[in-house]
């Protein structure tokens, strides 16, 4: 008889060596508090969290660390400062066995991932985006691009002076349409990207 999804999730946590398991369970607790309606599933062989059909985070033990996976190759590069002290790959953070990721950092990572999903969830405080993206909304920038800007701490036009055009073009969901509108506003207000 096949195990239920929940039983499979629990079995993976139980199979982890004790030090890694403690770190995994601490991160699981925080993610469940951040995403109280998330469904716990097994994806790519790891315990993961699914919101509105999208897997938004996963945790898996390894020999020398615990891996945190945002299930997106573009989330981690949004947080160079926050992740500077961690070993990372394009799609994983190697979390020290005895130092789980903080709830604050997990919330940022999950919010960034959810902002990329085709169906946005109401379980992260999306009202936070509404408070921070008013300027971009006034320019009629599409919601995914607005969320990408907010996730990159770009809340108003003058914030663009802190980044290069190359960095700007890498912001998730900022495509040709948003770029055209924003660069037109920058010219109008005589604001330039960082050189």
pLDDT for 119 beyond 50: no
Which residues lie across from 61 on neighbouring strands?
66
Average pLDDT over residues 145-161: 88
pLDDT for residue 56: 94
pLDDT for residue 123: 46
pLDDT for residue 37: 87
All structural domains of the chain with their residue ranges: 5-116, 127-188
Q: What is the mean pLDDT of the chain?
A: 88
CATH architecture of 5-116: Alpha-Beta Complex (3.90)
Residues 101, 95 contacting (CB under 8 angstroms):
yes
Instruction: Please give the backbone phi and psi of residue 75, each rounded to the nearest 5 degrees, phi first.
Output: -75, -50
Answer with the residue of higher pLDDT: 9 or 177.
9
């Amino acid at each position: 008889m096949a195990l239920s999804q929940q039983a499979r999730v629990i079995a993976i946590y139980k199979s982890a060596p004790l030090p890694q398991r403690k770190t995994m369970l601490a991160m699981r607790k925080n993610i469940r508090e951040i995403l109280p309606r998330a469904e716990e599933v097994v994806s790519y062989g790891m315990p993961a969290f699914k919101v509105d059909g999208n897997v938004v985070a996963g945790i898996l033990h390894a020999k020398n660390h615990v891996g945190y996976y945002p299930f997106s190759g573009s989330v981690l590069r949004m947080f160079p400062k926050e992740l500077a002290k961690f070993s990372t790959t394009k799609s994983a953070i190697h979390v020290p066995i005895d130092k789980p990721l903080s709830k604050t950092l997990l919330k940022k990572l999950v919010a960034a991932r959810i902002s990329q999903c085709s169906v946005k969830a109401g379980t992260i405080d999306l009202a936070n985006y509404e408070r921070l993206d008013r300027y971009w909304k006034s320019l009629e920038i599409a919601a995914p691009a607005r969320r990408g800007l907010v996730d990159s701490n770009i809340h108003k036009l003058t914030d663009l002076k802190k980044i290069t055009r190359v960095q700007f073009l890498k912001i998730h969901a900022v495509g040709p349409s948003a770029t055209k509108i924003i660069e037109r506003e920058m010219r109008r207000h005589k604001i330039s990207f960082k050189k």
